[in-house]
């Protein structure tokens, strides 16, 4: 049968062979991702940010397949490797790329924080994943360092895709390993191409972040990324000892990619209203947990009930209706009507202009003392405690020292982009804390915080 084509707004046509459609794509667990937004509540700031984990997973599959097929066109990569074995490597990679985010709970990373990671590790151990890693010569690091959504994804793969993947000739345990950044076939002594496939999905230059950076930039309309995706995809190469790398022809675009990656985080994730929208939604989930029996987000509810964003929004609506005088009801109304407070500063320039204190020390003090300061500031301003928020968005550490780990292949060896002098002395922004208060009291709040800071120091 001809492949199924799905039109993606970011990458164009994505092609999937019919067995992949039947055994992975058109399954309940995967289709649930249509109802899990990629950026949680960021659509309250960027109205177009309604893209989901479903589209992202298709994009990661498309990029992974394209990169691997490009590698297969390079004689060095295929030397002495039977086509049948490369086909097997590619099938495993394609399945892992599709399923890498299948464990995301409702509201993505906001829901993820209430999952019980220790319970998930125990359940994966019961399913034999821990012993499988150990038998392959890998220690406990993959499971110990995995995020909750990766752990839940592995559990879903083993519980729901064991037979379908086996029918595709793919080891479900190796799919889990790829999701966590490993190849069991490689760790067991298999060809180096197995290890490269795992790096395509999980490494400093993996296609996961390549998709979500370009997708988040395009779907939000932020337009802060000027980057040639096609040229970078064409630049992937690999070496038996060094693994996955980018050829030197990527130098013309890698700088734009890395700076654009920072820009997307700073102006999408770190946008002051995006910070508030997502913190507000997280607070709603925490308060829902206190009003209903059992946690609203658990592994079993994802597995058995297929809960998604819509499910939890309905539960929040019902809880707000049944507890009309609760803080949850007030916060839910704010979320639904987008009644946001003011922030004492919107960006780094205003932060530096309005705070009469050393900024690094002041910011660290704010974040470390946030609970105490929120209560004190609410009392000072004579407003309810839930109307004062001190928050800093989670921005992954993309400081220059980590960015320089990105490998560039040149002259028969691999070097980091830092060694090639790509960055010079440039530094990258780090997130700043925000203080949200009711409209009209911003100046009083800043003055009070500055006075308390100087008293503490």
pLDDT in tens, 285-328: 999 988 877 889 999 999 999 999 999 999 999 999 999 999 99
- The whole-angstrom separation of Cα 241 and Cα 199 is 13
Q: Is the pLDDT of residue 421 over 70?
A: no
H helices of 128-250, where?
129-135, 141-145, 148-160, 162-167, 172-179, 184-187, 192-201, 207-220, 229-234
pLDDT in tens, 161-202: 999 999 999 999 999 999 999 999 999 999 999 999 999 999
Q: Tell me the pLDDT band of 425, cut-offs 50, 70 and 90.
A: low
pLDDT in tens, 24-33: 999 999 999 9
| pLDDT, position 398 | 42
Q: What is the mean pLDDT of residues 118-126?
A: 97
Average pLDDT of the chain is: 92
| Measured CA distances, 378 to 84, 102, 338, 445 (Å) | 66, 41, 21, 9
- The whole-angstrom separation of Cα 435 and Cα 399 is 24
- The whole-angstrom separation of Cα 250 and Cα 236 is 8
Instruction: List, edge to edge, every strand of the sheet that includes 236-239.
Output: 236-239, 243-247, 407-410, 413-416
| pLDDT, position 102 | 98
CATH number of this structure's domain 4-269, picked from the four choices 1.10.3720.10, 3.40.50.720, 1.10.3210.10, 3.40.50.300: 1.10.3210.10
Q: Is the pLDDT of residue 436 over 70?
A: yes
| pLDDT, position 406 | 81
pLDDT in tens, 10-65: 999 999 999 999 999 999 999 999 999 999 999 999 999 999 999 999 999 999 99
Q: What is the mean pLDDT of residues 91-103?
A: 98
Q: What percent of the chain has pLDDT over 90?
A: 79
Q: What is the mean pLDDT of residues 68-72?
A: 97
Instruction: Tell me 14's DSSP state.
Output: E
Contact (CB, 8 A) for 316 and 110: no
| pLDDT, position 249 | 85
- The whole-angstrom separation of Cα 175 and Cα 198 is 9
Q: Tell me the pLDDT band of 400, cut-offs 50, 70 and 90.
A: very low
| pLDDT, position 428 | 57
Helix/strand/coil for 4: strand
Q: What percent of the chain has pLDDT over 70?
A: 95
What backbone torsions phi and psi does residue 2 show, to the nearest 5 degrees? -65, 155
pLDDT in tens, 344-363: 999 989 999 999 999 999 99
Q: What pTM, to 2 d.p., does this model score?
A: 0.94
Q: Is the pLDDT of residue 456 over 60?
A: yes
pLDDT in tens, 365-391: 999 999 999 999 999 999 999 999 999
| pLDDT, position 422 | 63
Domain extents in the chain: 4-269
- The whole-angstrom separation of Cα 183 and Cα 178 is 6
| pLDDT, position 423 | 60
| pLDDT, position 397 | 43
């Amino acid at each position: 049968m001809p492949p199924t084509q799905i039109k993606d707004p970011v990458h164009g046509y994505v092609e999937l062979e019919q067995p992949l459609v039947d055994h992975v794509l058109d399954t309940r667990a995967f289709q649930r991702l249509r109802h899990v937004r990629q950026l949680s509540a960021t659509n309250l700031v960027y109205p177009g940010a309604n893209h989901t984990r479903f589209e992202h997973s298709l994009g990661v599959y498309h990029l992974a397949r394209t990169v691997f097929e490009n590698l297969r066109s390079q004689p060095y990569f295929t030397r002495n490797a039977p086509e049948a074995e490369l086909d097997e490597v590619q099938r495993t990679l394609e399945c892992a790329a599709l399923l890498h985010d299948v464990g995301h709970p409702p509201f993505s990373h906001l829901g993820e924080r209430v999952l019980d990671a220790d319970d998930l590790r125990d359940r994966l151990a019961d399913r034999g994943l821990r012993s499988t890693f150990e038998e392959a010569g890998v220690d406990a690091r993959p499971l110990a360092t995995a995020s909750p959504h990766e752990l839940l994804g592995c559990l879903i793969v083993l519980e729901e895709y064991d037979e379908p993947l086996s029918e595709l000739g793919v080891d479900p345990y190796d799919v889990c390993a790829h999701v966590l950044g490993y190849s069991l076939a490689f760790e067991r002594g298999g060809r180096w191409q197995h290890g490269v496939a795992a790096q395509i999905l999980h490494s400093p230059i993996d296609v996961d972040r390549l998709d979500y950076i370009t997708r988040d930039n395009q779907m939000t309309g932020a337009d802060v990324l000027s980057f040639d995706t096609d040229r970078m995809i064409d630049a992937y190469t690999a070496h038996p000892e060094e693994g996955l790398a980018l050829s030197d022809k990527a130098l013309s675009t890698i700088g734009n990619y890395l700076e654009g990656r920072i820009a997307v985080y700073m102006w999408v994730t770190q946008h002051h209203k995006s910070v508030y929208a997502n913190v507000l939604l997280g607070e709603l989930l925490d308060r829902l947990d206190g009003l209903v029996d059992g946690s609203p987000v658990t592994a079993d509810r994802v597995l058995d009930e297929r809960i998604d964003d819509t499910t939890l929004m309905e539960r929040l609506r019902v809880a707000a209706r049944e507890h009309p005088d609760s803080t949850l009801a007030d916060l839910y109304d704010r979320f639904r009507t987008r009644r946001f407070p003011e922030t004492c500063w919107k960006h780094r320039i205003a932060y530096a202009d309005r705070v009469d204190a050393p900024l690094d020390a002041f910011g660290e003090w704010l974040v470390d003392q946030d609970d105490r300061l929120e209560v004190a500031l609410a009392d000072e301003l004579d407003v309810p405690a839930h109307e004062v928020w001190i928050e800093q968005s989670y921005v992954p550490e993309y400081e220059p020292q980590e960015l320089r780990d990105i490998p560039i292949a040149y002259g028969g060896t691999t070097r980091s982009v830092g060694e090639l002098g790509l960055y010079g002395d440039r530094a990258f922004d780090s997130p700043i804390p925000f203080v949200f208060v009711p409209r009209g009291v911003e100046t009083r709040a800043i003055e009070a915080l500055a006075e308390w800071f100087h008293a503490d120091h």
